[in-house]
């Protein structure tokens, strides 16, 4: 079925909401009150909820471009002939994106099944990440037990750092990633705790999302 174009005033309202939400999410994270977004956009609450019935709908509209940039960062890293350099450049790029946008910092630590457009892009990025890790291990550069859940640990740690370091987020985030990447090297490997299981990290992401009603309540069964 062909979608009818929005009337001019409706299109203006939608753009105002999305542009304002992008700015407010970047400043304050995804848990900001939607009423605050409506107020700063200069529209009524009813208009916002008519355009975006749920927070997940608004998040999808705001972050599609950033998640496409995430996919592009993975693809650029895969294009690097040096597997270790490619992996390092990807982690550095994603952490910098988080440091520049608290909303994105939150987003990459959440289950986004309620926003299929965003979840599809994230799935592409994840598949690329798995390939990056496999390449770096095959080259003997990445410690053998390193897995995608370790990257999620980094992104969650970086999200917390971004929230708490304010004006110093860029510098602090870059330092965190530098130290983390050094510890990923095969020659740096020592015996230590195992990484969290995929199931436990998935549950953590669902819990983060459920708090903002971006997905159903987590199932621990």
Enter the pTM of the model: 0.84
- Contact status, residue 82 vs residue 106, Cβ threshold 8 Å: no
- Those residues whose C-beta lies under 8 Å from the C-beta of residue 115, and which sit 6 or more positions away, are 56, 57, 59, 60, 214
Rounded CA-CA distance 104/25 in Å is 8
What's the pLDDT at 6?
56
Rg (CA), the chain: 19
What's the pLDDT at 19?
95
Residue 47, both tokens: 């208009």
SS (H, E, C) 97-137: HHHHCHHHHHHCCCCCCCCHHHHHHHHHHHHHHHHHHHHHH
What's the pLDDT at 115?
83
What's the pLDDT at 10?
80
- Within 13 Å and on the Cβ side, how many CA atoms surround 38? 14
What's the pLDDT at 5?
54
pLDDT tens for the chain, residues 1 to 221: 445 555 678 888 999 999 999 999 999 989 899 999 999 999 999 999 999 998 889 999 999 888 999 999 999 999 999 999 999 999 999 999 999 999 888 888 888 888 888 889 989 999 999 999 999 999 999 999 999 999 999 999 999 999 888 878 899 999 999 999 999 999 988 999 988 899 998 898 888 888 776 765 445 44
Tell how far CA 197 is from the center of its chain: 19
Angle value at C-alpha 49, between 45 and 51, nearest 5 degrees: 120
């Amino acid at each position: 079925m062909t979608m009818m174009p929005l009337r001019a005033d409706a299109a203006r309202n939608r753009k105002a909401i999305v542009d304002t939400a992008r700015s407010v999410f970047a400043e304050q994270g995804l848990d900001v009150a939607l009423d605050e977004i409506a107020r700063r956009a200069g529209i009524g609450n009813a208009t916002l909820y008519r355009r975006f019935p749920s927070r997940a709908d608004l998040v999808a509209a705001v972050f599609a471009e950033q998640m496409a940039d995430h996919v592009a960062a993975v693809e650029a890293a895969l294009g690097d002939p040096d597997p270790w350099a490619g992996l390092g450049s990807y982690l550095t790029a994603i952490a910098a994106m988080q440091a520049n946008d608290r909303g994105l910092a939150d987003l990459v630590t959440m289950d986004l099944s309620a926003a299929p457009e965003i979840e599809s892009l994230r799935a592409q990025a994840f598949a690329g990440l798995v390939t990056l890790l496999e390449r770096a291990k095959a080259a003997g550069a990445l410690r053998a037990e390193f897995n995608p859940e370790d990257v999620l640990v980094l992104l969650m740690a970086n999200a917390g750092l971004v929230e708490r370091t304010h004006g110093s987020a860029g510098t602090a985030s870059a330092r965190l990633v530098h130290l983390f990447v050094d510890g990923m090297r095969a020659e740096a490997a020592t015996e230590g705790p195992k990484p969290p299981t995929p199931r436990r990290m998935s549950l953590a992401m669902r819990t983060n999302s459920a708090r903002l009603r971006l997905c159903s309540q987590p199932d621990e069964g």
